[in-house]
Structures are given as structure tokens and as C-alpha cells.
Amino acid sequence: MFGGKIFQISLIFVMITVLFGGTLLAAQHNELHFPIDVTGFSSQDLSEIQIIVNGQTVQTDVDPVIRDAHLLIPLRAVFNALGAEVHWFEDPRTVAMVDQEKEIRIIIQLNNNVAYGNRKHWNFEMHPILHGDRTMVMPEVIALGYEVEVEWNKDTKQLRINTN
């Protein structure tokens, strides 16, 4: 009888692990902690940051900003450089990025830490904000939503985004 109880408990534990383990791992995978170190950066440093997409420097009309120790970059300039269309919806203060060719669709909302796209969702440490009239996002939004490689070099102040 005791051996049967241990077997039943073990079987239940295995079933719970199989059923919910994948969900827990997926949730952990969807929350990205990106190693973008901007400690000690001044406004002068921020104005010197280069955003490079596939080897081409992206011209932006607003400098990156730091909020709550997170680097935020202008969404429209980067997504346009990647080939996506960007659409702003005033109510409910939402941005949609669409790349028909690559079949990528991403939706973010200001002051919301969750982004949705391609039947997935991601939780970010810092929500998108408006800076002037530009939507600013963490580079992680681009990395995960567009499935691209993002590299940060603090010494050269370069943020490289590559689709290769």
C-alpha cells in the first residue's frame, strides 16, 4: 500500500511537471533581461549613441533616453529601418508595427509592460513611453518582436541590430 502511494505521488508530480513545466519555462523565456549597461551615462553620452541596423546608421530626430536605468530608443526610426510600417492609434495609445514581407506584427501600448506579436507575448521591465511625440522602447522589444540580434557596446556607444 505504501509503495503504491509513493508511486501515485511520483506520477502526479511528473504529470504536473510535464503539464505546467513547459508553461513556466515559456513564461521565463518571454521575460528578457537584456545586458544594456548605461550606468553613468549623461545626456551628452545619450546624444552620441549610434543605432546601427544591418550596418547602416539610423538617423533619428530624438536621442535615446534613460528611464529607471533602462535605455529607450525611438521605435519608429528603428522599425522603419528594418522595413516595417508603424501605425499609431491615439485611443488607446497603441502602436502597431507590421512587416508584410516577413509576416511580422507587433502591438505595444504606452505604459504597458507587455508586447504582443506573432501569437506570442513578452513582458518587459520598462514599458514604452512618449518622449516628445516619439514612442520610445527598450531594445528588447525589437530583439524579441522582430527576432533580430541586438548588440550593445558601451565603450563605442553603439547599438547594433542585425537581421542576419
Q: What is the pTM of this model?
A: 0.77
Q: Do 129 and 95 fall into the same domain?
A: yes
Task: Give domain status of residue 35, yes or no.
Answer: no
Q: Do 76 and 11 fall into the same domain?
A: no
pLDDT tier, 26 (very low <50, low <70, confident <90, very high otherwise): very low
pLDDT at 113: 93
Q: Do 87 and 52 fall into the same domain?
A: yes
pLDDT tier, 4 (very low <50, low <70, confident <90, very high otherwise): low
Model confidence at 25: pLDDT above 70: no
Task: Give domain status of residue 147, yes or no.
Answer: yes
Q: Do 155 and 121 fall into the same domain?
A: yes
CATH number, position 88: 3.30.457.10
More confidently predicted of 164 and 16: 164
For residue range 62-115, list pLDDT tens digits in order. Answer: 999 999 889 999 999 999 999 999 999 998 999 999 999 888 899 999 999 999
Which residue range forms the structural domain that includes residue 116? 43-162
What number is the average pLDDT over the span 17-25? 31
Task: Give domain status of residue 92, yes or no.
Answer: yes
Task: Give domain status of residue 37, yes or no.
Answer: no
Task: Give domain status of residue 38, yes or no.
Answer: no
Model confidence at 49: pLDDT above 60: yes
Q: Do 53 and 126 fall into the same domain?
A: yes
What number is the average pLDDT over the span 37-51? 92
Instruction: Count up the domains in the chain and report the number.
Output: 2
How deeply is 41 buried, as exposed, middle or buried, from its count of CB atoms within 10 A (0-12, 13-18, 19+)? middle
Q: Do 50 and 130 fall into the same domain?
A: yes
pLDDT at 34: 63
Task: Give domain status of residue 36, yes or no.
Answer: no
pLDDT at 14: 35
Interatomic CA distance for residues 62 and 79, integer angstroms:
15
Give percent above pLDDT 70 in the chain. 79
Q: Do 56 and 22 fall into the same domain?
A: no
pLDDT at 97: 94
Task: Give domain status of residue 136, yes or no.
Answer: yes
Q: Do 48 and 23 fall into the same domain?
A: no
Q: Do 108 and 152 fall into the same domain?
A: yes
